[in-house]
Amino acid sequence: MINNKKIVVVLPAFNAEKTLEQTYAEIPSDIVDEIVLVDDHSHDNTFILASNLDIHHVIRHEENKGYGGNQKTCYRKALELNADIVIMLHPDYQYTPQLIHSMAYLIANDVYPVVLASRILGKGALLGGMPKYKYLANRFLTFFQNLMLNQKLSEYHTGYRAFSAEVLKKINFEANSDDFVFDNQMLSQIFMAGFEIAEVTCPTKYFEEASSINFRRSVKYGFGVLKVSILHRLALWGMNHSEIYKKL
């Protein structure tokens, strides 16, 4: 806990057997109260390994629900555990768990309600091995998103995020896609609800075992991001009454 606020780390896992133990070992036990891992019907031994580690809550989907569907289960469980702060970390060791302290303290001290770990602040992305086509796509999409959402984030595509429970309770994340565009829909909802978002610099690692979507899925994701951005702008103009923006 920090300032009597309960911290829950959620790990949306899919085929994370080779990197899970290393990720788990670096999660700071001094402030993290509980860990939730949701295995999205992996083809490897992720679930067995997670069950053998000292992870408090291990959930396995009986069928693959997708990246967004996995996160929905994560957040539902964290709120069920009465978390005050929820930190979503990919268990593929692409992002360092050592930033959990910094991200949690910003929320626990009521500085910001949402914190993103950005690979783009500084030179972490390219130094960490991000493919150049993904870097350029990230830059273009982020520029377009900032323009449409009237914001100034350095990136919208990080998989390392921290939220106050208030944010998760207020936005309708259940209405979002079960695919990768879920992340961008969440940020759109958060801004639409009037919350501010902070960013911290995050080093990143690209290696064979780290999760990554292929080129075809990346293109589909990119068009999904453009659509979310345009719908957000239309909502700002009062021309889009999508289910994802309805208040709970």
CA–CA distance, 231 with 188 (Å, rounded to integer): 9
Q: 212 pLDDT exceeds 90?
A: no
- pLDDT, position 10: 98
- pLDDT, position 124: 66
CA–CA distance, 74 with 163 (Å, rounded to integer): 12
Question: Under CATH, to which class is 7-245 assigned?
Answer: alpha beta
Residues 38-52 have a mean pLDDT of: 96
- The angle subtended at Cα 156 by Cα 59 and Cα 171, nearest 5°, is 60
- pLDDT, position 121: 87
**74-127 pLDDT, tens digit each:** 999 999 999 999 999 999 999 999 999 999 999 999 999 999 999 998 776 777
Mean pLDDT over each residue of the chain, to the nearest integer? 93
CA–CA distance, 7 with 138 (Å, rounded to integer): 30
Please enumerate in sequence order all residues whose Cβ is within 8 A of that of 30, keeping only pairs 6 or more positions apart, or say none.
Answer: none
Q: 248 pLDDT exceeds 60?
A: no
Taking the chain, what is the end-to-end CA distance rounded to the nearest angstrom? 27
- pLDDT, position 211: 57
Nearest to residue 172, comparing CAs of 227, 79, 243?
Answer: 243
CA–CA distance, 47 with 16 (Å, rounded to integer): 9
Between 221 and 241, name the one with better pLDDT. 221
- pLDDT, position 19: 95
Q: 17 pLDDT exceeds 90?
A: yes
Q: 28 pLDDT exceeds 80?
A: yes
- pLDDT above 90 covers what percent of the chain? 83
The pTM (predicted TM-score) of the whole model is 0.93
**151-205 pLDDT, tens digit each:** 999 999 999 999 999 999 999 999 999 999 999 999 999 999 999 999 999 988 7
Spatial contact of 63 and 41, defined as CB atoms under 8 Å apart: yes
Distance of CA 90 to the CA centre of its chain: 8
DSSP state, 99? G
- Spatial strand order in the sheet of 85-89: 57-60, 34-39, 7-13, 85-89, 160-164, 114-118, 197-201
Residues 6-13 have a mean pLDDT of: 98
Q: 209 pLDDT exceeds 90?
A: no
